Structure 1
Amino acid sequence: MPSPTLDPRTARLLPWIVASALFMQMLDGTILNTALPAMAHDLAEDPLRMQSVVIAYMLSVAVLMPASGWIADRFGTRRVFLGAVLLFTFGSLVCALSETLVELVAARVLQGCGGALMMPVGRLVVLRAYPRKDLVRVLSFITMPALIGPLIGPTLGGWLVEYASWHWIFLINLPVGLLGCLAALSLMPDLRGPRTPFDVPGFLLFGAAMLLLSIALEGLGELKLPHDRVMLLLFAGMGCLSAYWLRAGIIAQPLFPTSLFHTRTFAIGILGNLFTRIGSGALPFLTPLLLQVALGYSPAQAGMSMIPQALGAMAVKPVVTPLIQRLGYRRILVGNTLVLGLLLAGMGLVDGDTPYALLLGLLALLGAVNSLQFTAMNTVALIDLDENNASGGNSLLSVVVQLSMSFGVASAAALLGGFSAGSTLHGGLSVLAAFQATYLCVGLLSMIGALLFMQLSPQAGRNAREGGTELPPANGK
């Protein structure tokens, strides 16, 4: 069957549908944290127990996301994407109606099952429905919510809790979700990949690995688990992951075929994502804390100060495609990764004497560099995959993105906790010094990604950038 030919209206509006679903998911992931104390008071719960609301969603996503590619190939992208948006929206409604913590946690699991499919399936549609020469432009557009959602989420959450109620942090998903469902019914192409049997043992091994590693990473950060338990979880997760890859190399139809890593650009893109997103994942966590705890900003001031980062991300989008076409992936990713690391380390120089305009300018630059980084990394990972590996590669990329951003937050929290040990919140200089050292370490860790991107060929992705290749035919309507 020939590749789907999108009419001009669908080609124009389809990225908006995918971007809206991703925005709803990313906003929900960050808006909740500021509302947890108010939710605990209303539900008559200990605020320290409310972390289960966040963890339930995270673990649901981590477990189900590896199966997203097979599910989309088996049931079709339109049906799965529509079902994911409906499930996420219904889960949001149930969250708002919850009267106990147990009900709320169960509703968050529903949300997580929808969220685990929305992002990977939406990106898979883009990968299969657009020519390779348009892939950078479209992916650049749909990754915008990943940058904006975490920036406005905490501020919007605080505002809703203060002036309305915590229920509205879930209810705002309803109109967006319903509009997304209507749009998906009329515009979402129904694409299917090759039929393959589902690798149940592989799914259980990989899902267990993601579950154990996710809990371990959260244990380093917000859960504050003892180090011995974190190490046990990490080793158990690594053991399950090792068992999965050893098994995947000897069976015919694994969940993620090892042949994915025969595509050099995919292998480098995946590993580069893993390291570079440490800094990107840490930034939304560290910066509001720096502004409020170390520099004395109010929550409203801190939230407003993050706006230039979102504006910088939006401002750079029109030039991403021309830059990659002109300079190529290798130059862009090596240079941009180094700049990203330097800017993150530069945040370690911020103190009470830093001019406010300079701080805003630095955050705007970080937003722009992050935006270019996300688009280039995601595109180079997917651009050379053939049809047989498209859904599996896209699902694995989604898993790595989810895990690496959690790792970024956990690493930042662990570094900050280590550097601030023995200090008090009233010893402003020592707390500030802990933030400065954490930014420096996160920046240096992010720069490791440049060593990986140096392994790209200077010609990597050139045929696709010049419009010479398209994705091989996909089964679809």
Structure 2
Amino acid sequence: MTSSKSPSTSSNALAMLVAGCFFMENLDSTIVTTAVPSIARDLHVDATSVGVTITAYVLTVAVLIPVTGWLADRFGSRRILLSAISLFTLASIACAASTSLPMLVVARVVQGIGGAMMVPVGRMTVLRVTEKKDVIRAVAWLTWPALVAPILAPFVGGLLTTYASWHWIFVVNVPLGILGFVVALRVVPGRSAIPAGEFEPTPPDWLGLALTSVGIGCLVWGTTLLASTPVDVAQALVFLVAGAIGVTLALRHLRRTPRPFVDLRLLRIHTYAVALGGGSAYRFVISAIPFVLPLLYQGAFGWTPLQAGSAILFLFAGNLGVKPATTWMIRTFGFRRLLLVAHLVGVVCLLGMATFRPATPFGLMIVVLVLSGAARSVGFTAYNTLTYADVEKRQMTGATVLDSTIQQIAIGAGIALGAVAISAGRLIGAPTNASPVFAYDFALAVIAVVMLAALIPAWRLPVSAGASLMAR
């Protein structure tokens, strides 16, 4: 029987499904944070010990992402995506049913395995079946989870923990996972649906995969240590150096081996290289903002976690408000102009946040937060779309794996940036007995400078960058 759905309709349905999967994965990266005290009380452990459940999840995702491209090519994207949704959902049930910390950590590792498979495999599945003229719209769907989840997580986690129990932060995944699995059965195409010549299997480059996974794992763990309190600088540096060595060896191997699992010649595609570098720097910065602001509100202003989480929702309002217009804005103004504006508005908003005080009118805070949310949404969507502007479908596996891997590192590094900048602000302000607000002002100013520096790759883009996506 011939389907009555048009390719565009099928592509949109698939993009919405994958976006939902991304939302679950991104939400679970951070939602546990607000439930840490409750989990510690219930499992009879110290609150600092519960942090390993967050690290276990993030580290598993980071280490396994490079392997998922080969898995998708070997067993088919449909089979891997369905397995990922099932594994993530079952692991969520196990997390909610955990009665001890070791049990919860194991369940989180399994959940991370499912999450690692959902991220790049879902994206490559969408991009393989999406025509160039529809890529902007498809990527707009795929980017909102990474923008929204880190902002909603503190609020949702605080709400569920306060009025229900910490178990519910995992239980909410179950109906979403079941729905996602049923929809995936209907809309995810099999390998036979991919036209001949658009599929190029990734070779099983085990040495490259091992070096990359170990290097990324060490980098993510090192940045996690920098973001923890108290900071173990020596241990963090050991892992960061080990990670840098591992990644360097991996890059050397990928350049020399005749059949690497990721072809670094992708970086010769100018738009891909710029979007990968500039986009990662941009994500590095915007990942720090939802980390710093709740600490400012609670640590310096004395707000409750729920009040702080509620205020951060105005970033979400800016994201959501501008999202329907992002496709039109990209097609009207072009990638280069839009990215420059997003960077500059973001810098101004960060400097505005650095002036926040307990007496600052909340209405003024709302304006700054909404504008910041809108700018980050536009910039993030533009970078993610431009990444695949000139990538051929046969190159999509390597392109998505490399992009997903670097983005995962950027998230951890961004949170570490915020933590280190706050600590540096406290050290600088200590001799003069500076106000507690000073450390957060300093951190926001540092983040603003980094965002301004990240503008350079976008500035170097040609005006015609991404023209292949502008067909209507």
Superposition TM-score, scaled by structure 1 size: 0.93
Would you say the 8 A contact 2:336–2:458 is kept in 1?
yes
2:153 and 2:71 mapped to 1: Cα distance?
30
Q: 1:305 aligns with which of 293, 305, 311?
A: 311
Equivalent of 1:401 in 394, 407, 413: 407
Are the counterparts in 1 of residues 62 and 217 from structure 2 also a CA contact under 8 Å? yes
TM-superposition CA deviations, 1:25-65 (whole Å, max 9, x none): 12222221111111111111111111110111011001100
Query: Structure 2: which amino acid aligns with 1:297?
Result: W
Does residue 328 of structure 2 align to residue 318 of structure 1?
no
- Counting aligned pairs with the same residue, the percent is 35
Which of 453, 463, 466 lines up with 1:461 in the alignment?
466
Q: Identify which range, 237-246 or 380-389, moves more after superposition.
A: 380-389
**Aligned partners of 1:246 and 1:13: how far apart in 2?**
40
By how many angstroms is 1:342 displaced?
Answer: 2.3
Matches within 5 A, 1:340-419: 340-419=346-425
Q: Distance in 1 between matches of 2:82 and 2:239?
A: 35
Q: Which deviations, in whole Å up to 9, do the C-alpha atoms of 1:150-205 show, x marking residues without a partner?
A: 22211221222222211111111000000000000011112463223211000010
> 1:405, 1:346 → 2: CA distance?
23
Q: Does 1:32 align with 2:39?
A: no
Q: Give, in whole Å, the separation in 1 of the partners of 2:80 and 2:150.
A: 26
Deviations 1:432-465 (A, max 9, x none): 0110111011011011111111221211111221
Segments ≥4 residues shifted beyond 6 Å: none
Shift of 1:341: 2.1
Residue identity in the other structure for 1:126:
V
**Aligned-pair RMSD on alpha carbons?**
1.7
TM-score, scaled to structure 2: 0.94
| Residue number in structure 2 paired with 1:286 | 292
Measured in 1, the distance between the counterparts of 2:9 and 2:139 equals: 18
- Whether 2:188 is the aligned partner of 1:183: answer no
Partner Cα separation in structure 2 for residue 71 and residue 337 of structure 1: 36
Write out per-residue CA displacement over residues 290-340 of structure 1, whole angstroms, 9 at most, x where no aligned residue.
112212222222222122211111111122112111221112112222221
Return the alpha-carbon distance in structure 1 between the equivalents of residues 428 and 380 of structure 2: 37
2:448 equivalent to 1:434: no
Are the equivalent residues in 2 in contact too, given 1:59–1:214 (CA < 8 A)?
yes
Q: Mind listing any 5+ residue stretches in structure 2 that lack a counterpart?
A: none
C-alpha displacement at 1:133, in angstroms? 1.4
- 2:247 maps to a residue whose letter is L
Report the residue type matching 1:457 in the other structure.
P
Give deviations 1:392-417, integer Å, cap 9, x for gaps: 11111111111111111101101101
Query: How far does residue 75 in structure 1 lie from its aligned partner after superposition?
Result: 1.6
Task: Work out the CA distance in 2 between the residues paired with 1:174 and 1:204.
Answer: 32
- Tell me, yes or no, if the aligned pair for 2:53 and 2:104 is still in contact at 8 Å: yes
Pick from 215, 234, 240 the counterpart of residue 234 of structure 1: 240
The answer to which of 435-444 and 272-281 deviates more is: 272-281
C-alpha spacing 1:223/1:304, structure 2 compared with 1 (3 Å): closer
Tell me the CA shift for residue 353 of structure 1. Answer: 2.8
In the alignment, does 2:274 pair up with 1:268? yes
Shift of 1:6: 4.8
Contact 1:70/1:392 (<8 A) preserved: no
Shift of 1:8: 5.7
Q: What's the secondary structure of 1:421's corresponding residue?
A: helix
Match of 1:121 in 2: 121
Q: 1:271 Cα deviation (Å)? A: 0.7
Question: In 2, are the aligned partners of 1:126 and 1:135 still within 8 Å (CA)?
Answer: no
Determine the structure 1 residue equivalent to 2:255: 249
Provide the secondary structure at the position in 2 that maps to 1:430: coil
Q: What is the CA deviation profile of residues 351-388 of structure 1, one whole-angstrom value per residue up to 9, with x for unaligned ones?
A: 12321101011111111111111111111111211133
CA deviation after TM superposition for structure 1 residue 248, in Å: 1.1
Given the superposition, is the C-alpha separation of residues 48 and 17 from structure 1 closer, same or farther in structure 2, using an over 3 Å criterion? same
Residue in structure 1 matched with residue 162 of structure 2 by the alignment: 162
The count of aligned residue pairs is 460
Q: Is the CA contact 1:157–1:169 (under 8 Å) kept in the aligned structure 2?
A: yes
In the alignment, the residues of structure 1 paired with residue 9 and residue 468 of structure 2 have an alpha-carbon distance, to the nearest angstrom, of 27
Structure 1 pair 7–389 and aligned structure 2 pair: CA distance change class (3 A): closer
Answer yes or no: is the 8 Å Cα contact 1:345–1:442 preserved in 2.
Answer: no
Q: Is this contact kept in 2: 1:345–1:444, CA < 8 A?
A: no
How far is the alpha carbon of 1:225 from its aligned partner?
4.3
Deviation at 1:422, TM superposition (A): 8.2
SS in 2 for 1:143: helix
Separation of aligned partners in 2, 1:448 and 1:267: 17
1:136 aligned residue: 136
CA contact (8 A) 2:203 2:261 kept: no
Distance 2:411 2:148 in 1: 15
Residues 1:22 and 2:22 aligned together:
yes
Distance in 1 of aligned mates of 2:9 and 2:297: 44
1:330 aligns with 336
Letter paired with 1:324: I
> Which residue of the other structure, out of 195, 198, 208, is the alignment partner of 2:201?
195
What are the equivalent positions in structure 2 for 1:66-85 lying under 5 Å apart?
66-85=66-85
For residues 225-256 of structure 1, give each alpha carbon's deviation from its aligned partner in whole angstroms, at most 9, with x where no partner exists. Answer: 43222222212111111111111112122122
Contact 1:350/1:359 (<8 A) preserved: yes
CA separation of 1:141/1:34 partners in 2, compared to 1, >3 Å: closer, same or farther? Answer: same
Q: 2:453 aligns with which of 448, 451, 473?
A: 448
2:30/2:54 contact within 8 Å kept: no
> Equivalent residue for 1:55?
55
Q: 1:387 to 1:175 in 2, by over 3 A?
A: same
